[in-house]
A and B are shown apart, each in its own frame.
Chain A
Amino acid sequence: MMLTILTALPVVGAIFLLAIGDRSKPLTRAVALAFAFASLLLVLILWHGFDSSLGTMQFEQRLAWVPALNIEYHVGIDGLGLLMLLLSAIVVPIGMAASWKIEERVPLYFALMLLLQACLFGTFTALNFVHWFSFWELSLIPAFFLIKLWGGPKRTPAATQFLVYTMVGGVAMLLSFLAIYLVTGKFDFIDLAQLAQSGHLMSNVVASLSMHRFMPSNIAMILFAGAFLGLAVKVPLFPFHTWLPDAYSEAPTGTTILLTGAMSKMGVYGFLRILLPIFGPQVQAVLTPLLWLTVATIVFSAYAALAQKDLKRIFAYSSINHLGYCMLGIFAVAKYTGGDISLLTQKFAAMDGVLLQMFNHGLTAATIFWFIAMLENRSGGQRGINDFCGLRAVAPVFAGLMGIALFSSLGLPGLNGFVGEFLIFKGAFPLVTWATSISVIGLLVTAIVILGIIQRVFSGPLHERWSGFPDLTLAEQLSLAPAIALMFVLGLYPQLVIGVFNSTVIQFVQHLNF
């Protein structure tokens, strides 16, 4: 019931915002933020009631929805789900704060943001394919309009590309799951995962579908490819990433925060909730090509970030890079190790790393884009790395705090970004040594990118046109403080978050066929 309320709350907020209309912009913003904080509070209450010693689904709710098709309304969260709820609840207020200067059609803007949040909550709590897929697809609509109506000069192609790519992936995934449903009569993730674990799922599917004319013999692989495509576009994995840089850079920065902070995690979440449990053997069968894609994602995106001049594009590529590490960890965990128990701890480490990385990247990327939004507001929309110089002289607090966020993204020990990447590399190295080794290039290049930004934007002689660049106001400092503090807390005491999902990770890894 709690989870249903959580998903419904932002929808109520959105309707409320549209109902009060365009009366007063400050009021609209305040109401929107109030709803976002109410969601955050609700998630914290959930966390309080969550028994993290169990790795099973909690707060479950099950209702018959379409009995004729065996579709249920089934929600529940385990550690992974709770982590994603926490992240979404944190990222949305940041996105709203970064959108404070939006002046056009304010109620609609914030209503769409709240709707997007509802879709995020829905996706992260749904345990039935149809229910999950509904939110997965619906989330595109608010995101599309946020880009389309408030975006930069090339917003139309960017928004369209974003929508069409994701829809193509969505339809491919839908077709795969319908074929599976046809054979098993089930849409429930938990049931399907159990079937897959017992080894009956794909053999049944193959036996039942291969009787048709023209049916290729490797139907299981085709179904896997369909589901994989849907998720890989969303993460994104090379070569399905081309929609992302345009969408992120053309979107208004507040929206970019939601896209990178929370929406990009939907893809990774899908890999963990759906692809590995249900298509485990298929992943293992094509693990090497998948690892090549991952390595390409990590390395290419790092170099692409190096070549960019626009801060938003840099961090768009950097976002691909950071999620690439998650994929590296996931595929390392998926590797078939012939039942070698000694590698199990490595898998736990890698898996812990993946979940930490999801959370940390969400937090860090959201904060960095928040800074970029402030930079844009102060510079009249400029955000090229060569547009600025020596800002540290006039805005030391700005430079210092943004520096912390940047170093977190770089993976400096002591800040949150480090722990996740460290655990992924530590865990993945013995499992998939070659891929992990090559991926190190990505770490190095990212470091160069980040240091380059710090040097060009903050160091050097101050250009005179920025001599009036205002530093952070007290209000801004106070609003940034929790995010920055959280970076330190998680860097020094990652157990805070690991505790949420540790049992889930152990259970998850043990259920995989290793």
Chain B
Amino acid sequence: MLAWTIYISFLGALLQLLLPKGNNTLARALALVTALAGLAIAATAFLTHRTGELITVTNYAWIPSLGINFHLAADGISLCLILLTGIVALTGVLFSWNIDRRTNEFFAFYLLLIGCVYGVFLSYDLFLLFVFYEIVIIPKYFLITLWGSTRKDYGAMKLALYSFIGSAMVLVGLIAAYVVAGGKSMALNDLANYAFSVHFQMWEFPLVFVGFAILAGLWPFHTWAPTGHVAAPTAASMLLAGVVMKLGAYGCLRVAMTLFPHGLDPWGFSLLGLSSWRDVFALLAVIGIVYGALVAMVQKDFKFVIGYSSVSHMGFILLGLMTLNQIGISGAIIQMFSHGILAGLLFAVVGRMVYDRTHTRELVLLGPMNLNKAIPFAALTFVVAGMAGMGLPGFSGFVAELMILIGSWRAFPIFAIFVGTGIVIGVVYVWRAMQKAFFAEPGDASTQEPLPPITIPERLGAIILICTSVAIGLYPQMLLKIITPALNSPLFDGVRKGGW
């Protein structure tokens, strides 16, 4: 059943191209139905598979001579991310309701992107995973160049190049592993169970990890993210920051860490106080958290604030993964979910609710428009999303940060203190942007044209995202219940060591 999330999305994309051109309403309706169907399947699976153990969805021989299968499977971690994809996809359609230029093609690319994202999260065969992972780049490139704004060609090209470099590293790593393991199977568990030599893992791990982590915005390979997200149209920003960045983090956990767990072992010597790849990546993650927050604090463009905040939040995920304990990794997965929802919401406010009305994103120019009176719903949404993003209790971000902090207290106590600093800076940049954009001293009201009111699809989308964040914030057990057994499954045997 879950496989239909992929098929339906591809089918929807195809239908979009066959539809008569110029009928925007039909295109929107079709996109909405497709996204809704995907979400319905994802939610059903999420609600029915409450044990979180691995379930095989489909398994056909694809290229038998190479041991490659069309093998889809899901465990608790995939289910969380599938649900996230469904929610963000649906709200993304709601926030693109005003796209009226080449609408069919827009939604075709959009649905193709979603189908591939579902595919990556469900793939159990690494070749299949890589295929989906690679196709993702194409729709995201075109979504930005064709419907984007602000240096869109530069942003799109940079994003595509970084993605290709990351994919290339992953591909090299996967082929090497496949060959070393005998070339019989590309299935995740077969490769994870193969005893690669420690020396092999020591160079394979950083290669594949960084390859995936580029897409997760690992500092210093993050620079594609803010420019790409800013240039993208709203729905694409939501998807890019909300779920596509999670593909990278998911790959880090699912592929790099499970296949090459010994790559995280100590080197046996110490360089600048760092004695393993684990230390190195944890340090880079912490730098990302603090650096992303600091840069977000001085941006003049509203959307760049959100763009850099993503870098900061993704740092939490990578740090959580590197803690190598249950609480930290569970926290990282919850943060993937939470950031997906909140980044989507923030980009929706900035890109759709504000920019599409005011046609500017300069904080200085937005201030005098007195937006908190003109579009109070946007102000309220931003306040809630900002509060959730900066980790205020009651929202999903708090639970995730809490767990990641506990995990890093155990693994890297010193880093926990720097992360605390990052959280405080997070409060400052959210609050600064909010005050400048929505609550600055009002300018001369008479010269301003009234802004169009917030439409119903926008309200609906914002409410869905806020409710999801609050639900996870108040009842994180909902996700933890299926994440915990997934992390305790045999697949993660190699990761579960030391102070798990």
Contacts and interface: CB of A to CB of B under 8 A. Distances in A.
Contact of A182 (B393, B399, B410, B414): B410
Interface residues of A, number: 33
A66 B393 contact: no
A141 interface: yes
Interface string A101-135: 00000000000000000000000000000100111
A152 to B, nearest CB: 13
A66 B410 contact: no
A132 B484 CA distance: 26
Nearest to B412: A212
A141 B423 CA distance: 16
Chain A interface, >50% SS class? helix
Contacts of A174: 402, 405, 420
A66 B480 contact: yes
Contact of B393 (A137, A175, A215): A137
A135 B393 CA distance: 8
Interface string B209-251: 0000000000000000000000000000000000000000000
Contacts of A138: 392-394
Contact of B409 (A137, A156, A172, A182): A182
B427 interface: yes
B413 interface: yes
Interface string A195-213: 0000000000000010011
A181 interface: yes
Contacts of A393: none
Contact of B406 (A65, A149, A163, A181): A181
B416 interface: yes
A209 B410 CA distance: 8
B184 to A, nearest CB: 38
Contacts of A179: 409, 413, 416
Interface in B417-437: 417, 420, 423-424, 427-428, 431, 435
Given A68-B480, A138-B392, A160-B435, A212 B413 contact: yes
B109 to A, nearest CB: 39
B393 A133 contact: yes
A304 interface: no
B330 interface: yes
Interface string B376-405: 000000010001000011100011001101
A361 interface: no
Given A149-B439, A181-B406, A214-B273, 18 more contacts: A68-B477, A69-B406, A134-B398, A135-B393, A137-B393, A148-B439, A160-B435, A163-B427, A164-B427, A168-B424, A172-B420, A175-B409, A175-B416, A178-B405, A178-B416, A179-B416, A212-B412, A213-B273
6 contacts: A68-B476, A134-B394, A171-B420, A182-B410, A209-B409, A215-B414
Interface of A: 65-69, 130, 133-135, 137-138, 141, 148-149, 156, 160, 163-164, 167-168, 171-172, 174-175, 178-179, 181-182, 209, 212-215
Interface of B: 273, 327, 330, 383, 387, 392-394, 398-399, 402-403, 405-406, 409-410, 412-414, 416-417, 420, 423-424, 427-428, 431, 435, 439, 441, 476-477, 480, 484
